[in-house]
A and B are shown apart, each in its own frame.
Chain A
Amino acid sequence: MRPHPGAAAAVCGTVALALLPQVVPPYYVGLMIPFYGYAIALLGFNLLFGYTGLLSFGHAMFLGIGAYGAAVMSSVFGVTSFELVLVVVMLAAALIALPIGLLCVRYVGIFFGMLTLAFGMLFHSFLFKFYYVTGGDSGMRVARMNILGLPFNTYNKIEFLAGPFYYYCLALLLIAGLVMWRLVHSPFGLHLKAVRDNARKAEYLGVHVRRFRLAAFVISAAFGAAGGAILGFRVGLADPELVYWTQSGQLVFMAVLGGFTNFFGPIIGALSYILLQDQLQSLTEYWRFVLGAVLALIVIGLPEGLSGLVVDLRRRLVGRAA
């Protein structure tokens, strides 16, 4: 049996990421932490968007649940275990996503997008206006926590992020990726694809369309919260900006940039977005314009994103060899 080309790519990618801190300056290693946060969130997002065909325009809400959950647990309740925080915020996000999902999955297409947008903005205005609970626009502090029970006291925050926490996040991404890989290649994943491609036919064949959409929504919420907790931990702050609708748009942007039709697309998208944004920000004050132009070009000319381009190139090369 030939190994799956995806598996080879995943192994190469993991090795490259593991060696990265040895090769590049600490600044870029630190920059990779948000990449891991977004990549994990996007793996979940793409279960909903790429595999189930539902475009959520309010997914930043779950990033917010993760970040604010980490803030509340670490700063208010003094929890020091990051694993505990991860588990709790993922459960919380899934619980919150359940009723919201029940309402949202009655719709598809543009209405699903608008309803999720409304819920996202509802959460944002709660965070923004109820400042005596949430700190308003100044947000809430996320205190430093232990990973795997180890405090790493000898490291300062930057060393900690670029060292142990980097590998910790890499491991988290690997776990998240493996779980998602199993999910989308299981009968469950096939059901989702059937629902995406032809909901009526799937229904006719006995698939509980709404139940599967709901399951995808809830799972994607849990992944989003895990990503959000990482993002909040890195900055040391959970602020309402993380939940604003433009942030949800940014998530969609990353998914499309990497290519939502490919399993690895969201990871590639998160990586290229983070690097692109960082480079552009150092080059010009008007980096948003360039990002917007890139998004427009991708949407118009490269609907399968960067991963689609790679697959296409590979197919051509292999085709020529054969």
Chain B
Amino acid sequence: MSALANIVAGGVFHAAVLFLVAAGLQLVFGVQKIVNLACGSFYALGAYFGITFITYAHQFGVSDWLILPGLIISGVLLGFIGPPIERMLRTVYGRDESFQLLLTFALVLMFQDVFKFVWGANPRSLNSAYLIYGTITVGDFSIPVYNLLVIAAAIAVAAGFGAFLQRTNYGRILRATAENRVMAEALGVDVRRVYAVVFTLGAVLGTTAGALVVPTAAASLDMAIEFVVEAFAVVVIGGLGSMRGALAGALIVGLIRALSIVYFPEFEVLAIYVIVIAVLISRPAGLFGRAVA
């Protein structure tokens, strides 16, 4: 029983991180209709930068207790890369979606070498005190409080995003732009600005997720290209452009991965794609997606 609880806890933690990245992917796709292959690179960038940021903070005598807020700040700081990349993507907005996909693939290639140049080819990890927040133990079951905090943070982001999109004025503008760009523009929405904001928000979600995962896992050159296919699986299962879909998809992928690593290691990755294919065949638009013409 407790073994299962441990597995589920691990799966939910993974799902929380996946959700953050997938939410960024969904936001960008929902409003800009661009599938961003570079979301995994943002995630990896967040992880590497998070390590550097915390290491420096440690040297300046910042308490280990501040590791979680510190990582979140480092993720948000990376938002500065959003606007220039969005500016580059702007050149292909009017064109076929395969060009947009390819341009983000070009970003993936470039980021790989940026990581190698700045942080080296060997995996980097934060040999840190993330256990400083302690561990909760119930019987045989134990979970680091840090993991719980990250899960809570992801839930907060999900709720915050929901409220932001549904209830605030700017959220309505975003939804209107997603719905009908030309009409929104005609009604006086500065679509260029909206796109820049949306892309930056999407990037920040990715970098923050990467920063948050870094105390528990090493940052490596492979993480960018490995994570992006998982994030893709999440949005395809959940439905492209849907936030609720990202949540459901992340939970499904996270739990399945955690369960299969323990019980059927051969099927760890296979199981995810089988589900992706099953969903695409039975519900082409994903679990929460709207049918696309």
Contacts and interface: CB of A to CB of B under 8 A. Distances in A.
B106 interface: yes
Interface in A288-320: 288-289, 291-293, 295-296, 299-300, 303
A113 B98 contact: yes
Contacts of B274: 122
B108 interface: yes
A119 B105 contact: no
A103 B277 contact: yes
B3 interface: no
A286 B113 contact: yes
Question: Chain B's interface: helix, strand, loop or mixed, by majority?
Answer: helix
A296 B107 contact: yes
Contacts of B91: 300
Contacts of B267: 129
A121 B236 contact: no
B102 A256 contact: yes
B105 A253 contact: yes
Nearest to A297: B106
Interface of B: 35, 37, 88, 91-92, 95, 97-99, 101-103, 105-114, 116-117, 225, 229, 232-233, 236, 240, 265-270, 273-274, 276-277, 280-281, 284, 292
Interface string A90-123: 0000000000000100110111011101110110
B269 A121 contact: yes
A109 B101 CA distance: 11
A121 B274 CA distance: 10
A126 interface: yes
B244 to A, nearest CB: 19
B277 A300 contact: no
21 contacts: A49-B98, A55-B98, A57-B101, A106-B284, A110-B35, A113-B98, A114-B35, A117-B229, A125-B270, A130-B266, A249-B105, A256-B102, A286-B113, A287-B113, A289-B112, A292-B108, A292-B110, A295-B102, A295-B103, A296-B107, A296-B110
Contact of B273 (A49, A121, A296, A300): A121
A252 B102 contact: yes
Interface of A: 49, 55, 57, 103, 106-107, 109-111, 113-115, 117-119, 121-122, 124-126, 128-130, 244-246, 249, 252-253, 256, 285-289, 291-293, 295-296, 299-300, 303
Contacts of A246: 108, 225
A49 to B, nearest CB: 8
A109 B229 CA distance: 18
Given A57-B101, A110-B35, A253-B105, 16 more contacts: A49-B98, A107-B280, A111-B280, A118-B277, A122-B270, A122-B273, A129-B268, A246-B225, A249-B108, A252-B102, A256-B102, A285-B116, A286-B117, A289-B117, A292-B110, A295-B103
B116 A292 contact: no
Given A295-B106, A296-B106, A299-B103, A118 B266 contact: no
Contacts of A106: 284
